[in-house]
């Protein structure tokens, strides 16, 4: 048994995005070496939550003291909060839109989330979805722009391990 710590530099959580093309048929192709010019890491994440929640259909039977249940389709998304970085927020990376334009243009985006580091053998999940819930905020007491961001995922998470 081992905890998944993310406090050491080699174990940082990394979220990579690429929306330079439609990678629906092969998500992993968005993160091969040849796509590095179109891929960017979301920097300065403050928290991140992976939601993989199956729907539940419940019913009652006259011959049972407890409810029955069966799972239905999952709602998958990734919620995070970031300190906005002017490069990844405003600017494109190669042919990929930055965060603001990805939301504005409703561009389907391939993502890969490394749980703890991205060295050989480190685990990740990947998929595609739409960036949403962008709500940048700033205040006199905290004069740095921060924003929540959600990746509303289309389909399943795919798990993998860095080669």
Partner 1 sequence: MSLRTDLLANVTTALSGSSVSVSSELPWSSGGTELYRKNKKKFYLSETDQDITQLQSTLDTNDVFQTENSLQGFITVDAKNQPADIQTVVSAVLNSRLSVSDYFVRECEASSETEGDEITYTFEYRFVNLI
Site size toward partner 1, by CB under 8 A: 19
- Residue 35 phi, psi dihedral angles, 5° rounding: -100, 5
Name the residue nearer to partner 1 (CB basis): 46 or 158: 46
Distance CA 116, CA 106 (A): 29
Give the span between the Cα atoms of 151 and 131, in whole angstroms. 5
Note whether 9 binds partner 1 by CB under 8 A. yes
User: Of 49-57, 98-106, 135-143, 150-158, which segment contacts partner 1 by CB under 8 A?
Assistant: 135-143
Q: How far is the CB of 29 from partner 1 (least distance, A)?
A: 26
CA-to-CA distance for 40 and 24, rounded, in angstroms? 18
Query: Under the criterion CB under 8 A, does residue 120 sit at the interface with partner 1?
Result: no
Does position 75 interact with partner 1 (CB under 8 A)? The reply is no
- Positive or negative, the Cα torsion across 5, 7, 13, 14? negative
Interface with partner 1 (CB under 8 A):
6, 9, 12-14, 43-48, 83, 85, 140-144, 146
């Amino acid at each position: 048994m081992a905890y998944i710590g993310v406090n050491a530099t080699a174990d940082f959580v990394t979220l990579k995005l690429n929306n330079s093309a439609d990678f629906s048929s092969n998500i992993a192709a968005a993160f091969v070496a040849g796509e590095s010019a179109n891929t960017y890491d979301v920097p300065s994440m403050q928290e991140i939550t992976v939601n993989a929640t199956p729907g539940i259909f419940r019913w009652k039977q006259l011959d049972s003291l407890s409810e029955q249940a069966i799972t239905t389709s999952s709602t998958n998304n990734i919620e995070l909060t970031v300190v906005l970085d002017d490069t990844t927020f405003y600017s494109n990376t190669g042919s990929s839109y930055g965060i603001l334009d990805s939301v504005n243009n409703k561009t389907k985006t391939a993502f890969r989330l490394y749980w703890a580091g991205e060295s050989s053998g480190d685990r990740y999940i990947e998929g595609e979805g739409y960036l949403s819930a962008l709500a940048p905020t700033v205040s006199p007491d905290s004069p740095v722009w921060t924003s929540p961001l959600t990746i509303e995922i289309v389909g399943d998470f795919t798990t993998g391990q860095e080669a």
